[in-house]
Structure formats: structure tokens, C-alpha cells
Structure 1
Amino acid sequence: MQTQAIINHIVLWLKNYATQAKVKGYVVGISGGIDSAVVSALCAKTGLDTLCITLPIRQAPDQLQRANAHIAQLCAQHPNVRAHNQDLTPTFEQFERSVSGSRPQDDALAMANTRSRLRMTALYYFGQINGLLVAGTGNKVEDFGVGFFTKYGDGGVDVSPIADLLKTQVYELAKELGIHADIITATPTDGLWDTERTDEQQMGASYPELEWAMAQVAQGKSREQFTGRQQEVFDIYVRLNRMAQHKIQPIPVCHIPTDLFQAA
């Protein structure tokens, strides 16, 4: 993989897109994870206004520490980078209280997705008042493989700079971009739960395993061609991919037959 050439390509793409859209630059939500670190570094390299925002909601201290350290590093390297922290914990907890009377016993996933959607709302608010586009942080496996993102949450973005890169390829860009080792070695997590839940725990397979399965499916392979853990991972990928089609595919539109627009 021509890592530096890919970096240059994405940076130029971001710069040209912002210019054509007549906006000042990009806003990026920084989580302390690898994807947001890489996307924010790429946006910073455009020389355009880059607003890096932390949006903690009862966030684990180590995640917030990594996010702040990364933003500080970008600010020191690029005069076009700005930082902002917006604690959304009070907003989230107010929402919790407001729906308390109708909440079922197990609504953990719904509340996790609510966190992501609150962050999306905040990103678009700060984007609009600053003349910036929201840069997404989803990679190819998450966005087009297993749908590991929240619909109208972290899936609600204006541009997707790394959505054509596998997770392992994002790590290669991170090394080339000089992303801090603490972020590169951190266990991937979406940070949407009160208790620590890694991406692998939630999906049942690691990113390299899912990338392998994604490639096998693309080649038309079937589960019967594998055994053991490979067959298990293949099944996990296929199941997650099928469940995520409502995220991956465009919103279904009910098209009305032309003749129904005519008078009866």
C-alpha cells in the first residue's frame, strides 16, 4: 500500500471538496480512538479550518485523556486546528430522566445509540455556526461490511474520508501520520456504554478477522469452504452484514406509479 500517496490523495480530496462546497473546513468529533485521530490529522493537513471537538458522555477517563492529548498535538503542529470540549453528560442524563417512565427493562442499546445521536447533533450545530462540514470517521468494514455505526449518529456525516480503507489500513495511515502510540495500541471501542465494551466483544470477531470474511464474501465463497474459527467468523460477518442492510443501503423510497398521478 502506498501509504503516503493515499494520505496525499485524501488530503487533496478534502481540500477540493470544501472549496467546491464553499465552506471553511471541517469539524471532527475526537473519541480517543484510531479512526477519529486519523481523520482529524488528515483534515488538519488540508490547511483549512479544522475544529476538533470532544463530546464526552460519562466517558472513560483514558479515552478522554487520549483525545485531549491528540488534539493538543494537532494544535501544536497545525495553526489551522482549533479545540473545543462540549460535555454532553448533562444533556444525556436529562434525556434519560425524560423517558424514564416509558423505558423498558433492557434499553441499553437504544441508550447507547442515543449517545451517538446526541453527538451528531452537537457536531452539526458547531459545524453550521462555524461554516464547517462534518467529517465522518467510519472505515470500510464498519460502514459497508458489518454496519458497526449508529444510524443518524456517527453515520450522520457530510464526508467520509476513510470509508474506502480497511481498519488495518487505517492503522498504517496512523503510523505514517505520527499518531501517538497510546491511540494506536488502544483496544478499539465505540465508547457508548457505561461499562467497557470493546468492538470485538460487541461484534464477536476482530477487525482483521472481519476483513478476511469480507474478502471471502466478495469473492463469492460459501461457509462450507471453511471450518473451525474461519467458518464461525464467516457466519458472524454474513449475519451482521444482513442485519445492517438498512444502514448500508440508501433509504427505501416508495415510488408511485405514474398513472396514479392521473385523474381517476
Structure 2
Amino acid sequence: MDWLQVVVLSLVQGITEFLPISSSAHLILVPELTSWPDQGLAFDVSLHVGTLLAVVVYFRRELWRMLDRWLVSVRGGGTDQDARLAWWVIVATIPVGLAALIFHDAIEVSLRSPLVLALGLIVFGVVLSYADWRGRGSRNEYQLTLKDAVLIGLAQALALIPGTSRSGITMTAALLLGMNREGAARFSFLMSIPVIVLAGGLETITLLTEPRPVDWVAMLGGTILSGISAFLCIHYFLAFIKRIGMQPFAVYRVVFGVWLLWFFW
């Protein structure tokens, strides 16, 4: 891999992983628009590691409190808002984990097409726009209920459909349930941690069963670049939506989806 490919893929992964615009839709364009060879599974794992480190570092204080209070609750010491938030993240991860186990192969065979990708961008972009326009919620992530966590988790399972965007669909569901924009985004980011761990773990298992030469320098560069770009993306996205909201991302999704239809047909 040359360094231009490393930089482009790392930035695309780091930025689009957490924005509600579908990372899969952007990553599919890289080989279409360039003559680069496939980057390989090892490099994909390194990009997942970078984005995971970014969200863990950004929310390190919250995660430490959540883990500490969750362990207390497991030992029967009662629950507070941090322990409940940790439980809600776990609960919200279950649907997508089950859906991935059941439907992953079918989705890989049947839904990996530019048409599905474009329609996912457009349809769920319109839904995101409606949720943001309609939303007058004031609740933050600490005010979620078990029902909220289950419903947002079910919405997250839809992200297996290409073009949906994991962050986009979870923020949409949270807004429709009465959360404010920052709370919806923060809970979506916290939910990404177990999902990235699961996805990266599956890729790692596949990588171990199919050993190939590994470009460790490129992997390290990819981890660092994707991590830095993801960290900055989280920081500026939270500040951006507080002032402007989700509408620019919804419009971008629809325009991008229409362009994909034109590009592939």
C-alpha cells in the first residue's frame, strides 16, 4: 500500500464512522474511483482499532464512571445513572449482535449492491430529517429508560442494511423518542464501542484463519490517522449539531444517494 491510499482510507473511515452519513457508502467508492488494490483485512482491523481508541479516549471519564458503577450494580450495590447507562448500552447492543449472527450471510449475498446503498442513504436520510425537524426533546443519555434502550437497539440492527448508517439510525431513533440532539449523539457514540469491538473481533478471527503478509507500518499509520480523525469528528460534530442540527447531514445523504444512482447507472 502506498501512503496516499493509507491516508485516504484512514480519513474516510475515521470521519464517516461517527457521522450519520454511512461509512459503507463512502468506502465502496474508494475502489470505484481509484485503481488501488484491496487494502486487505489486516488494514481494516487497524482502522477499527483507531476509531475504537478515539471514542474510548473521548469518553474516558464517562466510561470509567459507568464501568465502576456497573460493577457495583452487578455486586448488588444498587444502580445510579452511570450504572443504568452502562446497562442500557449493553441492552441496546443485543439486537444488532443477534441480527448479525442470523442475517449476516444473507445480507452479504443479497444486499451488497449500489442500488440498496443509494436507497438506504436517501430513505433513512429523509427519516433523519423528519426526526430532527420534529424533535423537541430535552432528555439526555442519562434519562433513558429500558424501553428506550431496546427500541434504539432494534433501530441499530437496521444498520446492517447498507447505506443506513449505524450512527444515523440510532440518532434518528433517539430523537423520535424525545432525546435532545447532543444526548442522542452521545448515546450513539457510546453504543458504537461494543459494536466496533464485535466487528473488529470477527475480522480478527477471520484474519487469523487466513494468514497473509502484514504491512505493520501501514497498519500503525492507519490506526493513528483513523483515531485522530475520529476523535476530532466526535468533538466537532457534537458542537455542530448543538447549533445547527442534523439537517445538513440529511440533505447530504439524499444528494449523495441520488449521485450514487447516477454514477452506477
Between 1 and 2, higher relative CO (CA 8 Å, sep ≥ 6) is seen in: 2
* TM > 0.5 fold call: no
Q: By percentage of residues, which structure has more helix?
A: 2
Q: By percentage of residues, which structure has more strand?
A: 1
Normalised to the residue count of structure 1, the TM-score between the two structures is 0.25
Normalised to the residue count of structure 2, the TM-score between the two structures is 0.25
